Structures are given as C-alpha cells and as structure tokens.
Amino acid sequence: MAGNGQSRTAVEQERDRKYTTSILGESKEGVLLRDTTDKLERWAQYFEELLNVAEEDEQLMAPHRISQDNIQDDVEERRAQKLMEFQQKF
C-alpha cells in the first residue's frame, strides 16, 4: 500500500522485519548478521544449545523412567500374589 501514498500497516512492517531477519539472521543479542560465516556459526551455536538442553532433560528424567522390564516384573509379581491369595482362600 505504500506505493499509492498510504502508510504501511503494522502487519506489513512486521512481515518485512521478519523477512529481513530470516534472510540476514540474528545474533543472540539481536544484532542482524549479514555474513554467511556468522550466520552459520549462529546456527551451530543454536543447535548446540538445543542439544545440550535435550541432553540435560534426558539426564534429569533418567532416574524416573520406567523400563518395560520393570513393568513386566511388576505385573508378574502382582499376578503371583493374586494367585497365592486365591489359592489360600480355597
């Protein structure tokens, strides 16, 4: 709409800002990155941080994770207890 003398809407301005940011890239501090090497380094940094968070989550959850073997053992143990209780009744 700017071509016909009207000012651009906030939506158009935001769309253009996002497009420019996606082409140029942005550092953690919000600085636009123009150099390809800088953009690649930022992506590497981003994925490194992302993977570290995933590894930390995995380590935090490991003690709480229930394995299939534990579940099967519990089921068999409860089945044996129920069978013993049944046999004791009769």
Q: Where are the domains of the chain?
A: 1-34, 35-90
Is the separation of the CB atoms in 75 and 67 below 8 Å?
A: no
pLDDT value, residue 2: 46
Give me the sign of the Cα torsion angle 76, 82, 85, 87: negative
Averaged over 8-14, what is the pLDDT? 82
Single-letter residue type at 54: A
40-55, pLDDT tens digit by residue? Answer: 898 898 888 888 877 7
pLDDT at 4 over 70: no
**pTM score, whole prediction:** 0.39
